[in-house]
Chain A
Amino acid sequence: MAEPLLLVAGVETFYGAIQALHGVSLEVNRGEIVALIGANGAGKSTLLMTVCGSPRARAGRIAFEGEEISRLRTDEIARRGIAQVPEGRRIFPRMTVFENLQMGATFADPAWFAADIERVFGLFPRLKERRDQRGGTLSGGEQQMLAIGRALMSRPKMLLLDEPSLGLAPLIVRQIFETIRLIARDEGTTVFLVEQNAFGALRLADRGYVLVNGHIRLTGTGAELLADPQVRAAYLGGH
C-alpha cells in the first residue's frame, strides 16, 4: 500500500502541564476525505493545529508526503501544501474579502491567481458580491465561505477543516459539504475534516476517526461508523 499523505503516529500534545492528546495515531491517504468526530474538548482542534506545528507535538511523529514535519515552523508546514480553515475562521477583520483571498495565495504561483480567484468566486458567488467589504463585517456564513476560499487559494495538497458547518443554516451547510465533495473529487485535494455534525461528516467522508478525551477510540469507513451503536448513541442523537 502506498504511503499515506499524512501520517500521525503516537502524537502527544500538551498545554502547559495539561495533556490534550494521548498517543494519537491516524493516517490520511491521497484523495481521501477523512472525518474526525468527537465531543467538545476531545482535542479535535488541538490535533489539527498540532499537524500545523502550533502547538508542537511533544512526542510522536507527523509525516507529510513521507517527510517528518513535526519540527518545522508553522509557516514552513503551510508552504509544504497544508492549508487549514481553523476554528473560529480567523478572517483578517480589517482586510477586504479580496485581500483575505490574496493572503491565501501568498505562496502560490502568481500565475494561478486570476484563475483561482475566479474559481473561489464561482464556488461562493456571495464573496464576489462582497469583494471589497471588510472581513470583520461579514456574516458568519460569509466568513466561513471566505475561510474556505482563502485556504483554497494556495492550491493545497491537503485541506484541514475545523467545523466548517458550525453555526450555519442547514441550506448553507449542505452547500459547504457539497463544495468539499467537489474539491476532493474534481481536484484531488485531500480533505481532513473535524465536525460536530457527525451525521453529515460521516456521510461525506470515506473514513472516520472518533476522538475521546485525547485518545482515538474508533475508526472505520464512514458507513461503518454511521452504523456503529456507540457512535449512534454518543454523536448521532437526532438520527
Chain B
Amino acid sequence: MEYFLQQLINAVTLGSIYGLIAIGYTMVYGIIGMINFAHGDVFMIGGFMSLIGFLLCAMLGISSAPLAVVLVLLLAMAFTAVFGWTIERVAYRPLRGSFRLAPLISAIGVSIALQNYVQLAQGARPKPHTSLVQGGFTLYSANGFDVRVSWLQIVIVVLTVALMAGFTLVIGRTALGRQQRACEQDMKMASLLGVNVDRTISLTFMMGAALAAVAGMMFMMYYGVIDFFVGFLAGIKAFTAAVLGGIGSLPGAILGGLLIGLIEVFWAAYFSSEYKDVAAFGVLVLVLIFRPTGLLGRPELEKV
C-alpha cells in the first residue's frame, strides 16, 4: 500500500510533465491541424535554458530559491517562445498550403537540427544539475516505509493544473482564444473578419513553446540531469498523451499525460521497467481502436 502510494505520487508528477508538453502539441494541432514534431526539442531547449539560467543566477549571487526559480522560468519561457516563433516562421509558414506531409517533414528536420545544434553547442554528455528546490515531507509512514512528497513534486503538479486552467480560460473565454479557434475552424473566414491569421498562428506557437519551457525546466529540476536527446522520447510520449486524451483538447492533454505517467510508472514498479514504454503505447493503440477521437476528443456532431 505504501509502495503503491509512493508510485502514485511519482506517476502524477511525471504525468504532469508529459501533460505540459502535450498541451503544446494539442494547441498547435488544434489551430493549424499540424503535428509539430519539433515540440519535444523545444522542450529540451527549455530545459537547457533553465540550466543556463540557474548557472547565471548562481554567478549573479541570487541565492533565494523562489526568486531564482521564477526568474529562470520567465527567462526560459521568453527564450523558447522566440524559438517557437522562429521555427514557425522559418520552417512551417512557407509550407502552409502545400501538401499535408510537407510541414511534417520540415518539423522532423527542425527536430534533428535542434538536437544537433544543442549537441554541438552544449556537448553530448548529460549535464547534471542540483535543484534549488530540495526537501519535502513525509506524508505518512507505516511498515517501515515512508511515503514522501517533495516540494518540487508539489510545485510541478500545482503549476501544471494552474497552467492548464489558465490556458483553457484563455482559449475558451478571451478574444485571443476565440480568434485562435476561428483560425482552426476556418482560416479564410477568420481573415475576412479582420483576424490576422499569421499573427495568431505565431502567438499559438509561442504559447506552446513557453509551456514546453515550463515542462523542460521542471523535468531538469526533477531528474537533475539533461542532455540534447531528452526531447525525443519525452516528445513522443507527450504526443501520445495528446492523442490519448483527444488531440485538440487541453484537459485531454493533461489527462493523457497523467495516464501515460501512471502506466509507465506502475508498469515499471510492478512488472518490468524495460517494457514500460511498450505498455504505454499499447494503451494508446487500444484507446484509439475503441475511441478514435481519444478520451476527451470532441465527437463530430456537426451536420453537413
Binding site for B on A (CB under 8 A): 52, 54, 73-75, 78-79, 83-84, 86, 90, 92-95, 99, 102-104, 106-107, 134, 136-137, 150, 154
For residue A76, give the distance in angstroms from its CB to the closest CB of chain B. 8
Q: In the complex, A93→B301 CA distance in Å?
A: 10
Q: In the complex, A14→B182 CA distance in Å?
A: 27
Contacts of B179 in A (CB 8 A): 103, 106
- Chain B residue nearest to A89 in the complex (CB): B189
Interchain pairs with CB closer than 8 A, number: 75
Q: Which of B186, B195, B302, B303 contacts A106 (CB 8 A)?
A: B195
Q: In the complex, A134→B186 CA distance in Å?
A: 15
Knowing that A75-B191, A136-B302 touch, tell me 13 more A-B residue pairs with CB under 8 angstroms.
A75-B193, A78-B191, A84-B192, A86-B192, A90-B186, A90-B192, A92-B182, A94-B185, A94-B298, A95-B182, A103-B190, A137-B301, A154-B194
For residue A62, give the distance in angstroms from its CB to the closest CB of chain B. 15
Contacts of A75 in B (CB 8 A): 190-197
For residue A194, give the distance in angstroms from its CB to the closest CB of chain B. 15
Contacts of A99 in B (CB 8 A): 178
Asked if B181 is at the interface (CB within 8 A of a chain A CB), the reply is: yes
B181 touches A79 (CB 8 A): no
Interface of B is mostly: helix
For residue B287, give the distance in angstroms from its CB to the closest CB of chain A. 23
CB-defined A-B contacts under 8 Å, sample of 5:
A78-B194, A83-B192, A95-B185, A107-B194, A154-B193
Interface string of B154-198 (1 = CB under 8 A from A): 000000000000000000000100110110011011111111110
> From residue 23 to 41 of chain B, which have CB atoms closer than 8 A to chain A?
none
Q: Which of A54, A73, A103, A136 contacts B193 (CB 8 A)?
A: A103
Are A79 and B194 CB-contacts (below 8 A) given A95-B178, A99-B178, A136-B303?
Answer: yes
